[in-house]
């Protein structure tokens, strides 16, 4: 290999790394859904100036130790409860300075569903020019794997060793009820659809919200090679709807098969669900009711009517919402 070709290869690698939101050498676990999502987001933000707001979560540990960082963009650290407020302030500074910077809040379910929900709701209600992305690994992954309100019923965590009681909170329904400009779910198993949604959300104005099902091999007690496959199974079974709501319309991007076989395999790969605790028939029933609610919401959006509750999502639970 000549010196010139070596220099060319080094320059190409440097250019590639500079365009990545998540650089090589980061500390994330193998198979981390958040890492996969950041790579897809890198494709969506290519050629755009972005700033990230990241609360205490796995996404903040990703950066590594000062003075080095695994992020390829400016990152502001916020508290768990202030992500929406900090992102709102940064977006308004960019607007006052006539900058083209796009502000992205990158938060786990703890800073979205729970501790940060008030600031998130406030930013949405004010229609701040912020893209809020929740990578949902269904636990507090950075502090040992405690349950959150995103944890599905029946899942074992460090604080619910016998399985969580109660259904998973419907954060997408909550954000749709705010009637913001754009709400969408993102499947890591459908990268073209994911990048399209991310690119649209980055460029759009006003408040936008993306929800990503982000498998955590450590917390889910699943093989790290199965992360994308698990998302694909959740989509096939109807457990994770792939949709977007904008311009007064609800569009389903990937129609599920409502496959009991897919759901059974989905749960079987995760040791956080106790053997024998998952009743696939019950889950399919809850999934069907949730999808019926989504259809009703779609009709109400088109008619400009107030949105009511969608209905419970499927989970590894009995009729009372607790693990069997």
Q: Express each pLDDT in 9-58 by its tens digit.
A: 655 555 555 568 988 888 899 999 999 999 999 999 999 999 999 999 99
pLDDT recorded at residue 135 = 98
What's phi and psi for 17, nearest 5 deg? -65, -35
**Regions of the chain where pLDDT drops below 50:** 315-324
Q: d(Cα 227, Cα 229) in Å, to the nearest integer? A: 5
Burial (0-12, 13-18, 19+ Cβ within 10 Å), 96: exposed
pLDDT recorded at residue 5 = 67
Provide the β-strand partners of residue 132: 105, 209
Whether 22 is covered by a domain: the verdict is: no
Which residues make Cβ contacts (< 8 Å) with residue 244, sequence separation at least 6?
Answer: 182, 183, 184, 185, 197, 250, 251, 253
pLDDT recorded at residue 10 = 58
pLDDT recorded at residue 321 = 38
Show the domain range for 123: 27-303
Burial (0-12, 13-18, 19+ Cβ within 10 Å), 146: middle
Whether 241 is covered by a domain: the verdict is: yes
pLDDT recorded at residue 11 = 57
How many domains does one find in the chain?
1
Whether 315 is covered by a domain: the verdict is: no
What's 209's domain CATH number? 3.40.50.970
- Owner of token pair 């650089």: 23
pLDDT recorded at residue 261 = 97
The verdict on whether omega for the bond into residue 232 sits within 30 degrees of 0, i.e. cis, is no
Whether 32 is covered by a domain: the verdict is: yes
Whether 43 is covered by a domain: the verdict is: yes
| pTM attached to this predicted model | 0.90
pLDDT recorded at residue 210 = 98
pLDDT recorded at residue 103 = 98
Whether 220 is covered by a domain: the verdict is: yes
Whether 11 is covered by a domain: the verdict is: no
């Amino acid at each position: 290999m000549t010196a010139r070709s070596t220099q060319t290869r080094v320059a190409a690698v440097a250019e590639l790394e500079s365009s990545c939101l998540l650089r090589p050498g980061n500390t994330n676990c193998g198979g981390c859904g958040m890492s996969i999502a950041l790579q897809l987001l890198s494709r969506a933000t290519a050629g755009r100036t972005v700033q990230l707001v990241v609360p205490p979560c796995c996404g903040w540990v990703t950066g590594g130790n000062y003075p080095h960082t695994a992020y390829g963009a400016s990152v502001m650290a916020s508290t768990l409860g202030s992500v929406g407020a900090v992102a709102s302030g940064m977006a308004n500074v960019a607007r006052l300075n006539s900058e083209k910077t796009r502000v992205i809040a990158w938060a786990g379910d703890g800073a979205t569903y729970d501790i940060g929900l008030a600031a998130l709701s406030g930013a949405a209600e004010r229609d701040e020019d912020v893209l809020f992305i929740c990578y949902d690994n269904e636990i507090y992954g950075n502090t040992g794997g405690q349950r959150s309100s995103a944890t599905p019923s029946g899942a074992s965590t460090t604080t619910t060793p016998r399985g969580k009681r109660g259904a998973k909170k419907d954060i997408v329904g909550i954000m749709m009820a705010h009637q913001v400009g754009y709400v969408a779910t993102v499947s890591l198993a459908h990268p073209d659809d994911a990048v399209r949604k991310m690119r649209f959300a980055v460029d759009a104005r006003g408040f936008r919200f993306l929800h990503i099902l982000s498998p955590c091999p450590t917390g889910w007690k699943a093989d790290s090679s199965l992360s994308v496959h698990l998302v694909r199974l959740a989509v096939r079974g109807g457990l994770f709807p792939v949709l977007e709501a904008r311009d007064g319309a609800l569009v389903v991007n990937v129609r599920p098969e409502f496959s009991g076989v897919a759901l059974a395999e989905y749960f079987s790969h995760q040791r956080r669900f106790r053997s024998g605790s998952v009743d696939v028939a019950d889950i399919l029933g809850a999934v069907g009711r949730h999808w019926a609610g989504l259809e009703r919401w779609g009709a109400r959006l088109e008619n400009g009517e107030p949105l009511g509750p969608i209905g419970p999502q499927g989970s590894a639970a009995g009729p009372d919402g607790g693990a069997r």
